[in-house]
Every structure is written in structure tokens, then in C-alpha cells.
Amino acid sequence: MSEHVTQWLSAYQDGELRGGKRHHVETHLAECEVCQAALDDLQGLSTLLHEVLAPEFTSPERLSAQVNLRLPRVHAQSIEHKVWEAGWWLIPVSLLSVWMLVTAVGWIGDFVSAANRWGLFDTTAVGMIDMGPVQVETLPAWLVSESSAEWAGALSGLGLLQGDGLAWATRVESFARNTLPLFVWQVAIAVLYLGWLAIWWVRHTRQEEGQLLDVSGLPSKMN
């Protein structure tokens, strides 16, 4: 008996042998029990592999749908929502503009007051008010006005508009007319800005929590 043909069995099983080589293998198999047993084992293995179910692959359409579900959702925004968002972001810009305007007005008031003290403007009183020995030109403007004449006369009668009292009245006028309004405006603007910042932080936190909830719910929806 010639040598075994086990090296040709796979090709013979797959039908790849032709002509004399195929005839030689068939003749050998008819005479050799060892090679015939090897061929039977090879055929059994091939049958077993064909019986095993092929794994189910996800179709491209389904895979694309699953990927889209995992992506963060971007909801279509209406025109009203976009306008509201634009107005929302204009709030800090408006507050900053008002703060700059108030600051500029304060600086202009300080400049006018300094120029008035230096005699750059004509501050001659239009009317004279009788307050005893006190000269009208030396009094603060708020005491010279017609609406404050009686109040100024009473202070003059008590001697509060002379010496240190006059200096105190001048400082009170400067604080009430310049410093206090500017301070109140700046505090109000700061409070409004802090309120806007707090609301923005709450909205931003809720949006992040909503995105996390959407992403965490995707696996359950896909299953």
C-alpha cells in the first residue's frame, strides 16, 4: 500500500482536486482504512460546523438607530424660546450698562462740584433768603432752595449754620446728593446681578441633571 494521502483530504472534501490527483486519492481511500477514517472524521466535522448557527449581526439600520439614541438629545427650539434666551443674556449686559452710566454720572457730578468750588461756574444766588447773620452764598444749595427756606431759617436760628455746623451741613449735602444715590444704585445693581447669577446657576444645574437622566434611560429603552 502506498503512502497515506491525508494531506489531500481537505482539498478532496472541498472538491478542489481534479483529474489524476482526484483519481489517485479515491483509489487510495478504497484500499486504506486509515485515510478513509480520517476522511470520515473530516466530513463529520464539516457537518457539525454547518449545523452550528451563525451569530446574528446587527443590521446597519439598527446599529445607526442605537448610536443615535446614545447621542445627547438636542430639542428643536422655537422662535419664542430663542428670543427669551437672548433677552435672558441681555440682562447682565443691561445691568453693566446701567452701572457704567451711574458711575459716569457720579464722576460728572464730582467734576461739576469741584469746578464749582474752584469758581469755574457762576453760583450767584437768584434770590436772597433772610437767615440772620449767615450769608446765603456760603450755604449749601439744598438749604438755599425755596422749599427748604423755613428749614434753613430754623437751623440758622439755632446757630447750627455757623462754623462747624455749616461744614457739617455741607458734608451732609455732598453725601446726600452724590455719594448716597450712587451707593444705592450700585448696591441695587449688584443685588440684581447676584439674583440673575443664582437663577442661571439653578437653570444650568437642572439642564445637566436632565441630560444625565436622558442618557441613563437609554439602555433600558434599547432593551
Residue range 8-21, pLDDT digits in tens = 888 888 778 888 88
> Could you tell me what percent of the chain has a pLDDT over 90?
0
pLDDT tops 60 at residue 150: no
CB 7 within 8 A of CB 28: no
Residue 200 C-alpha cell reads as 442661571
User: pLDDT tens, 96-113?
Assistant: 888 888 778 777 777 777
Look at residue 170 in the predicted model and tell me its pLDDT: 60
Tell me the DSSP string of the chain. Answer: -----GGGHHHHHTT---HHHHHHHHHHHHH-HHHHHHHHHHHHHHHHHHHSPPPPPPPHHHHHHHHHHHSPP-PPPPHHHHHHHHHHHHHHHHHHHHHHHHHHHHHHHHHHHHHHHTT-S----SS----TTS-GGGS-HHHHSGGGHHHHHHHHHTTTTSTHHHHHHHHHHHIIIIIHHHHHHHHHHHHHHHHHHHHHHHHHHHHHHHHHHHHHTHHHHH-
For residue 97, the Cα-to-chain-centroid distance in whole angstroms is 22
Chain-centroid distance, C-alpha 24: 80
More confident residue, 127 or 6: 6
CA pseudo-torsion sign 119, 121, 123, 126: positive
Indicate the range of 39-53, 57-71, 113-127, 173-187 predicted with least confidence.
113-127
Q: Is the pLDDT of residue 156 over 80?
A: no
Burial (0-12, 13-18, 19+ Cβ within 10 Å), 139: buried
Residue with cell 446614545: 70
The DSSP string of 178-195 is IIHHHHHHHHHHHHHHHH
Short-list 74, 43, 30, CA closest to 214: 74
Q: Which amino acid type is present at position 200? A: W
pLDDT of residue 67: 79
Mean pLDDT across the chain, nearest whole number?
69
Residue/partner pairs of 209-212 with CB below 8 Å, 24 or more apart: 211/72, 211/73
Nearest in space to 11 (alpha carbons), one of 3, 19, 58: 19
Please, are residues 70 and 216 in contact by the beta-carbon 8 Å criterion?
no
| Residue bearing the bigger pLDDT, 220 or 6 | 6
